[in-house]
Amino acid sequence: MEELRGGYRVLFWVVSGLCGADLLCMASTWLPGAYTVPEWLVRRLFLSVFPAFAVAFVCGFISGAAAQLTGSRNAGRLRSYVRLLPRALKLAYAGAICLAALGVATGAGTAQDTKADASGYYYTYWDRTANPQHSVRVELTEPAYFEALKGQLRIFSAIPAVLLASSSFLVLASASASAGRIRTAPELL
Protein backbone atom coordinates (compact mmCIF):
# COMPACT_ATOMS: atom_id res chain seq x y z
CA MET A 1 0.00 0.00 0.00
CA GLU A 2 1.41 3.30 -1.13
CA GLU A 3 0.30 5.30 1.90
CA LEU A 4 2.54 3.31 4.25
CA ARG A 5 5.55 5.60 4.42
CA GLY A 6 8.16 6.44 7.03
CA GLY A 7 7.19 5.77 10.61
CA TYR A 8 3.85 4.28 9.66
CA ARG A 9 5.59 1.61 7.56
CA VAL A 10 7.99 0.75 10.36
CA LEU A 11 5.22 0.61 12.96
CA PHE A 12 2.99 -1.47 10.68
CA TRP A 13 5.70 -4.08 10.07
CA VAL A 14 6.77 -4.18 13.73
CA VAL A 15 3.20 -4.71 14.93
CA SER A 16 2.49 -7.23 12.16
CA GLY A 17 5.69 -9.10 13.02
CA LEU A 18 4.74 -9.25 16.69
CA CYS A 19 1.31 -10.55 15.69
CA GLY A 20 2.92 -13.22 13.52
CA ALA A 21 5.27 -14.22 16.35
CA ASP A 22 2.29 -14.54 18.72
CA LEU A 23 0.43 -16.71 16.22
CA LEU A 24 3.49 -18.94 15.76
CA CYS A 25 3.85 -19.31 19.53
CA MET A 26 0.18 -20.18 19.78
CA ALA A 27 0.41 -22.69 16.93
CA SER A 28 3.37 -24.39 18.58
CA THR A 29 1.16 -25.30 21.53
CA TRP A 30 -0.83 -27.60 19.24
CA LEU A 31 2.23 -29.73 18.57
CA PRO A 32 2.35 -33.08 20.40
CA GLY A 33 4.53 -33.45 23.47
CA ALA A 34 5.73 -30.74 25.82
CA TYR A 35 5.48 -27.12 24.74
CA THR A 36 8.30 -26.01 22.49
CA VAL A 37 8.21 -22.23 22.89
CA PRO A 38 9.94 -20.83 25.97
CA GLU A 39 7.57 -19.36 28.52
CA TRP A 40 9.64 -16.16 28.74
CA LEU A 41 9.07 -15.51 25.02
CA VAL A 42 5.29 -15.82 25.37
CA ARG A 43 5.32 -13.47 28.37
CA ARG A 44 7.46 -10.86 26.60
CA LEU A 45 5.24 -10.99 23.53
CA PHE A 46 2.24 -10.62 25.83
CA LEU A 47 3.80 -7.53 27.40
CA SER A 48 4.75 -6.07 24.01
CA VAL A 49 1.11 -5.69 23.07
CA PHE A 50 0.61 -2.79 25.48
CA PRO A 51 3.15 -0.31 24.02
CA ALA A 52 2.35 -1.39 20.45
CA PHE A 53 -1.39 -0.91 20.95
CA ALA A 54 -0.83 2.42 22.73
CA VAL A 55 1.31 3.79 19.89
CA ALA A 56 -1.20 2.60 17.26
CA PHE A 57 -4.03 4.15 19.27
CA VAL A 58 -2.20 7.50 19.51
CA CYS A 59 -1.45 7.39 15.77
CA GLY A 60 -5.13 6.76 15.12
CA PHE A 61 -6.19 9.82 17.08
CA ILE A 62 -3.47 12.10 15.74
CA SER A 63 -4.24 11.22 12.12
CA GLY A 64 -8.00 11.38 12.61
CA ALA A 65 -8.53 7.79 11.48
CA ALA A 66 -10.13 6.80 14.78
CA ALA A 67 -12.75 9.54 14.47
CA GLN A 68 -13.39 8.72 10.79
CA LEU A 69 -13.82 4.97 11.18
CA THR A 70 -15.34 4.41 14.62
CA GLY A 71 -18.82 5.00 15.94
CA SER A 72 -22.21 3.94 14.71
CA ARG A 73 -22.43 6.83 12.24
CA ASN A 74 -19.22 5.77 10.51
CA ALA A 75 -19.87 2.04 10.14
CA GLY A 76 -20.33 2.47 6.40
CA ARG A 77 -16.92 4.15 6.13
CA LEU A 78 -15.29 1.29 7.98
CA ARG A 79 -16.90 -1.29 5.70
CA SER A 80 -15.87 0.61 2.58
CA TYR A 81 -12.33 0.99 3.91
CA VAL A 82 -12.09 -2.74 4.57
CA ARG A 83 -13.36 -3.42 1.03
CA LEU A 84 -10.53 -1.28 -0.37
CA LEU A 85 -7.83 -3.35 1.33
CA PRO A 86 -5.84 -5.74 -0.87
CA ARG A 87 -7.12 -9.32 -0.89
CA ALA A 88 -3.95 -10.68 0.73
CA LEU A 89 -4.29 -8.25 3.64
CA LYS A 90 -7.97 -9.12 4.11
CA LEU A 91 -7.08 -12.82 4.20
CA ALA A 92 -4.22 -12.18 6.63
CA TYR A 93 -6.49 -10.29 9.04
CA ALA A 94 -9.25 -12.88 8.76
CA GLY A 95 -6.76 -15.71 9.25
CA ALA A 96 -5.20 -14.06 12.30
CA ILE A 97 -8.57 -13.47 13.93
CA CYS A 98 -9.82 -16.99 13.16
CA LEU A 99 -6.61 -18.61 14.43
CA ALA A 100 -6.71 -16.54 17.60
CA ALA A 101 -10.37 -17.40 18.19
CA LEU A 102 -9.56 -21.08 17.69
CA GLY A 103 -6.63 -20.73 20.10
CA VAL A 104 -8.80 -19.19 22.80
CA ALA A 105 -11.51 -21.80 22.28
CA THR A 106 -9.13 -24.75 22.49
CA GLY A 107 -7.02 -23.29 25.28
CA ALA A 108 -9.88 -22.34 27.57
CA GLY A 109 -10.88 -25.94 28.22
CA THR A 110 -7.48 -27.10 29.43
CA ALA A 111 -5.98 -23.94 30.91
CA GLN A 112 -5.60 -24.02 34.67
CA ASP A 113 -3.20 -22.32 37.02
CA THR A 114 -0.95 -25.34 37.24
CA LYS A 115 2.00 -25.62 39.54
CA ALA A 116 4.82 -28.07 40.03
CA ASP A 117 6.80 -28.74 43.17
CA ALA A 118 8.67 -31.59 44.79
CA SER A 119 5.43 -33.46 45.52
CA GLY A 120 4.23 -33.43 41.90
CA TYR A 121 1.96 -31.52 39.54
CA TYR A 122 -1.25 -29.89 40.72
CA TYR A 123 -3.64 -26.98 40.51
CA THR A 124 -5.71 -25.43 43.25
CA TYR A 125 -9.18 -23.96 43.30
CA TRP A 126 -11.38 -22.36 45.94
CA ASP A 127 -14.16 -24.73 47.06
CA ARG A 128 -17.13 -22.48 47.74
CA THR A 129 -19.52 -25.37 48.45
CA ALA A 130 -17.70 -26.45 51.60
CA ASN A 131 -18.33 -24.87 54.96
CA PRO A 132 -15.92 -23.28 55.80
CA GLN A 133 -14.67 -22.46 52.31
CA HIS A 134 -11.15 -23.64 51.62
CA SER A 135 -8.59 -24.22 48.90
CA VAL A 136 -8.54 -27.67 47.31
CA ARG A 137 -5.49 -29.18 45.69
CA VAL A 138 -6.08 -31.38 42.63
CA GLU A 139 -3.23 -33.68 41.64
CA LEU A 140 -2.33 -33.89 37.96
CA THR A 141 -0.39 -36.38 35.92
CA GLU A 142 2.60 -35.13 33.98
CA PRO A 143 0.79 -35.20 30.59
CA ALA A 144 -2.20 -33.36 32.08
CA TYR A 145 0.17 -30.78 33.58
CA PHE A 146 1.83 -30.10 30.23
CA GLU A 147 -1.53 -29.96 28.48
CA ALA A 148 -2.81 -27.39 30.98
CA LEU A 149 0.41 -25.40 30.65
CA LYS A 150 0.09 -25.44 26.86
CA GLY A 151 -3.51 -24.20 27.23
CA GLN A 152 -2.31 -21.26 29.30
CA LEU A 153 0.39 -20.40 26.78
CA ARG A 154 -2.13 -20.71 23.94
CA ILE A 155 -4.44 -18.17 25.54
CA PHE A 156 -1.56 -15.83 26.44
CA SER A 157 -0.55 -15.90 22.76
CA ALA A 158 -3.99 -15.71 21.15
CA ILE A 159 -5.38 -12.66 22.91
CA PRO A 160 -2.38 -10.42 22.12
CA ALA A 161 -2.49 -11.61 18.51
CA VAL A 162 -5.99 -10.16 18.12
CA LEU A 163 -4.95 -6.88 19.73
CA LEU A 164 -1.83 -6.68 17.55
CA ALA A 165 -3.83 -7.42 14.40
CA SER A 166 -6.25 -4.63 15.27
CA SER A 167 -3.27 -2.37 16.02
CA SER A 168 -1.78 -3.01 12.59
CA PHE A 169 -5.18 -2.25 11.03
CA LEU A 170 -5.33 1.01 13.00
CA VAL A 171 -1.82 1.93 11.84
CA LEU A 172 -2.82 1.22 8.25
CA ALA A 173 -5.95 3.34 8.61
CA SER A 174 -3.89 6.12 10.23
CA ALA A 175 -1.43 6.06 7.34
CA SER A 176 -4.32 6.25 4.86
CA ALA A 177 -5.90 9.16 6.72
CA SER A 178 -2.58 10.99 6.87
CA ALA A 179 -1.90 10.39 3.19
CA GLY A 180 -5.37 11.70 2.33
CA ARG A 181 -4.56 15.10 3.75
CA ILE A 182 -2.35 16.95 1.33
CA ARG A 183 -0.50 19.84 2.89
CA THR A 184 0.40 22.83 0.86
CA ALA A 185 3.04 25.40 1.71
CA PRO A 186 0.60 28.05 3.04
CA GLU A 187 -0.98 25.49 5.42
CA LEU A 188 2.39 24.68 6.95
CA LEU A 189 3.12 28.31 7.84
Quick one: residue 71, left, alpha or beta (phi over 0 = left, psi -120 to 50 = alpha)?
Answer: left
pLDDT averaged over every residue in the chain: 82
Residue 183 maps to a domain = yes
Length of the chain: 189
Residue 94 maps to a domain = yes
Residue 15 maps to a domain = yes
Mean pLDDT calculated for residue range 157-185: 80
pLDDT recorded at residue 74: 65
SS (H, E, C) 137-171: EEEECHHHHHHHHHHHHHHHHHHHHHHHHHHHHHH
Residue 119 maps to a domain = no
Residue 25 maps to a domain = yes
Residue 78 maps to a domain = yes
| Total tally of structural domains belonging to the chain | 1
pLDDT recorded at residue 135: 79
Query: pLDDT at residue 181 above 70?
Result: no
Q: In terms of pLDDT, which residue wins out, 140 or 163? A: 163
Considering only 25-34, 137-146, 153-162, 164-173, which range has the smallest mean pLDDT?
Answer: 137-146
pLDDT recorded at residue 187: 52
pLDDT recorded at residue 186: 52
Taking alpha carbons only, the member of 168, 176, 163 closest to residue 68 is: 176
Query: pLDDT at residue 18 above 90?
Result: yes
pLDDT recorded at residue 149: 81
DSSP conformational letter for 129: S
Burial-class residue 1 by CB neighbours within 10 Å (0-12, 13-18, 19+).
middle
Could you count the other beta carbons within 10 Å of the beta carbon of residue 87? Answer: 7
Structural domain that includes position 72: 6-110+149-188
Query: pLDDT, tens digit, for every residue of 41-97?
Result: 989 999 999 999 999 888 888 877 766 666 667 667 777 878 888 899 999 999 999
**DSSP result, 97-119:** HHHHHHHHHHHHHH---EEEETT
Listed ranges 19-23, 138-142, 170-174; the one with the highest mean pLDDT: 19-23
Query: pLDDT at residue 182 above 70?
Result: no
Residue 175 maps to a domain = yes
pLDDT recorded at residue 184: 46
Is the distance from CB of 57 to CB of 65 less than 8 angstroms? no
Mean pLDDT calculated for residue range 161-171: 91
Residue 165 maps to a domain = yes
